[in-house]
A = this chain, B = another copy of it.
């Protein structure tokens, strides 16, 4: 199939074996991996020996929870985090070039979404290796499903800007996209600022707009709280230091 030549057939593979870069999701909360992903992922965790990880300690813990019999000392871990120089990423893929599968593991959720793993994927695609995204928990997707907000059009914004002028402009832009484009807006905040963020939104945006706050998704304390900003302004709540994700919609 010549049309996929750029993607699949140019692998710089010195061994003859066609190696795969797996994108292996991690639970969002303190639950057994098998309860939040297909059995197939656990088999991938068992078979891969070379990992690109956001954090070595949490990756090891995850693998041990996948299967206690995994021998961590036999595995290689390379760190790809927000401090990594993008120029160093292609070299991380050398096991692939030798025909050995690799997996990307982030701190929580799906690799390459809201974390630095995308650089490894880009480098792998450029060099013609197979990339295999695996199914697992994503707070973005689960919160969108649970919110009842528009899932036909939505945007994930990451963190809002901190500088107050830029932040106000950004919130205004996002409100415009909700109203004019019917686009749900999804974003996150450093957990110790969660309460302040909710108060700020309730104070500065139209009271009829709805805010959904989801916390501990998939975990024992999962909460899905959707109400208008006018209701949030009157409500008592405490999301201090609790990882949460925020969704705004009309």
A interface residue numbers (CB < 8 A to B) = 2-4, 6-7, 23, 34-40, 110-115, 117-125, 131-133, 135-138, 140-158, 183, 217-218, 223-227, 231, 235-238
Q: Are A39 and B39 in contact (CB under 8 A)?
A: yes
A115, B142: Cα distance in complex, Å: 14
The number of times this chain is found in the oligomer is: 2
A110 to B137 alpha-carbon distance, docked (Å):
12
A118 touches B155 (CB 8 A): no
Q: Which residues of B contact A38 (CB under 8 A)?
A: 34-38
- B-side contacts of A7, CB under 8 Å: 223-227
Min distance, Cβ A37 to any Cβ of chain B, angstroms: 6
A218-B23 Cα distance, complex, nearest whole Å: 13
Report the minimal beta-carbon distance from A164 to chain B, rounded to whole angstroms.
19
* Residues of B contacting A149 in the complex (Cβ-Cβ under 8 angstroms): 118, 122
Shortest Cβ distance from residue A191 to the other chain B in the assembled complex, whole angstroms: 16
Report whether A23 and B145 are in contact in the complex, using a CB–CB cutoff of 8 Å. Answer: yes
Check A151 against B112 for contact (C-beta < 8 Å): yes
Please tell me if the beta carbons of A156 and B158 are within 8 angstroms of each other in the complex. Answer: no
Among B141, B146, B156, the residue within 8 A (CB) of A121 is B146
A153 to B158, CA, bound (A): 6
Q: A114, B151: Cβ atoms under 8 Å? A: yes
Q: Among the listed B39, B111, B153, which residue makes an inter-chain contact with A157, where contact means beta carbons less than 8 Å apart?
A: B153
User: With A39-B39, A125-B148, A140-B141 given, can you name 14 additional A-B contacts, CB distance below 8 Å?
Assistant: A4-B223, A23-B146, A37-B135, A113-B145, A118-B152, A121-B147, A121-B148, A122-B148, A131-B148, A133-B145, A133-B146, A154-B155, A154-B156, A155-B156
Closest B residue, CB atoms, query A156 = B154
Residue of B nearest to A23 (CB): B145
Residue among B6, B23, B122, B218 making CB contact with A225, cutoff 8 Å: B6
Chain B hits for A150, CB < 8 A? 118
Task: List 15 A-B residue pairs with CB atoms under 8 Å apart, sorted by A's residue number.
Answer: A3-B235, A3-B236, A7-B223, A7-B225, A34-B38, A113-B144, A113-B145, A118-B149, A121-B148, A124-B148, A133-B145, A133-B217, A135-B136, A135-B137, A153-B156
